[in-house]
Amino acid sequence: MSKAKTSYVCNRCGGVFPQWYGKCPTCGEWDTLGEFREAAPPPAAVRRGPARAPRPVTDVEVAAQPRLRTQLEELDRVLGGGFVPGALVLLAGDPGLGKSTLLLQAANSFAATHAPCLYVSGEESLQQVALRSRRLGSLSPRLLLLAETDAAAIEEQVEQVRPGLLIIDSIQAMYSPTTDSLPGSVGQVRECAVRMMRLAKDLGVPTVLVGHVTKEGTIAGPRVLEHMVDTVLSLEGEHHVGYRVLRAVKNRFGSTDEIGLFHMAEEGMRGVPDASAALLEERKAGFPGSTVTATMEGNRPLLVEIQALVSEASPFGAPRRSVTGLDYNRTCLILAVLEKRARMSLAKMDVFVNLPGGVRVSEPATDLGLALAVASSERDRPVPPEMGFVGEVGLTGEIRSVPRLDRRLAELARHGFKRCLAPRGAGITAPPGLDLIAVEHVHEALEFSFGQ
**pLDDT tens, 330-387?**
999 999 999 999 999 998 999 999 999 878 898 999 999 999 999 999 999 999 999 9
Q: How confident is the model at residue 267 (pLDDT cuts 50, 70, 90)?
A: confident
Per 3-state DSSP, what percentage of the chain is helix, strand, and coil (rounded to 5)? 30, 25, 45
How many residues are given for the chain?
A: 452
Residue 31 has pLDDT above 50, yes or no: yes
**Can you name the CATH fold of 67-273?**
Rossmann fold (3.40.50)
**pLDDT tens, 68-108?**
999 999 999 999 999 999 999 999 988 888 999 999 999 99
The pLDDT, as a whole number, for residue 204 is 93
The pLDDT, as a whole number, for residue 28 is 85
Phi, psi of 195 (to 5 degrees): -65, -40
The pLDDT, as a whole number, for residue 2 is 45
The pLDDT, as a whole number, for residue 426 is 66
Would you say the CATH fold of 278-450 matches that of 67-273? Answer: no
Q: What is the CATH number of domain 278-450?
A: 3.30.230.10
Q: How confident is the model at residue 1 (pLDDT cuts 50, 70, 90)?
A: very low
The pLDDT, as a whole number, for residue 288 is 95
Q: Residues 131, 133, 136, 139: is their CA dihedral positive or negative?
A: negative
Q: How confident is the model at residue 185 (pLDDT cuts 50, 70, 90)?
A: confident
The pLDDT, as a whole number, for residue 42 is 52
Q: What are the start-end ranges of the E strands in 72-170?
A: 88-93, 117-121, 143-147, 165-169
Q: Tell me which of 12-16, 213-217, 224-228, 271-275 is least confident.
A: 213-217
Q: What mean pLDDT do residues 132-152 have? A: 92
| Sequence ranges of the domains in the chain | 6-37, 67-273, 278-450
Q: What mean pLDDT do residues 308-319 have? A: 88
Residue 41 has pLDDT above 60, yes or no: no
Burial 63-101 (b: 16+ CB within 10 A, else e): eeeebbbbebebbbbbbbebbbbbbbbbbbbbeebbbbb
**pLDDT tens, 209-263?**
998 876 666 665 556 688 899 999 999 887 777 789 898 989 999 888 788 999 9
Structural contact between residues 192 and 176, judged by C-beta atoms closer than 8 angstroms: yes
The DSSP secondary structure of 27-39, one letter per residue, reads T--BS-EEEEEPP
Residue percentage of the chain with pLDDT more than 90: 61
The pLDDT, as a whole number, for residue 3 is 52
DSSP SS3 for 185:
coil
The pLDDT, as a whole number, for residue 388 is 96
Pairing of strands 387-389, 419-423: parallel
Structural contact between residues 74 and 268, judged by C-beta atoms closer than 8 angstroms: no
CA separation for the pair 177, 181 (Å, rounded): 9
The pLDDT, as a whole number, for residue 189 is 87
Q: How confident is the model at residue 58 (pLDDT cuts 50, 70, 90)?
A: confident
The pLDDT, as a whole number, for residue 46 is 47
Q: Which of 206, 124, 130 is nearest to 163 (CA)?
A: 206
Structural contact between residues 426 and 439, judged by C-beta atoms closer than 8 angstroms: no
Average pLDDT, the chain: 88
Q: How confident is the model at residue 19 (pLDDT cuts 50, 70, 90)?
A: confident
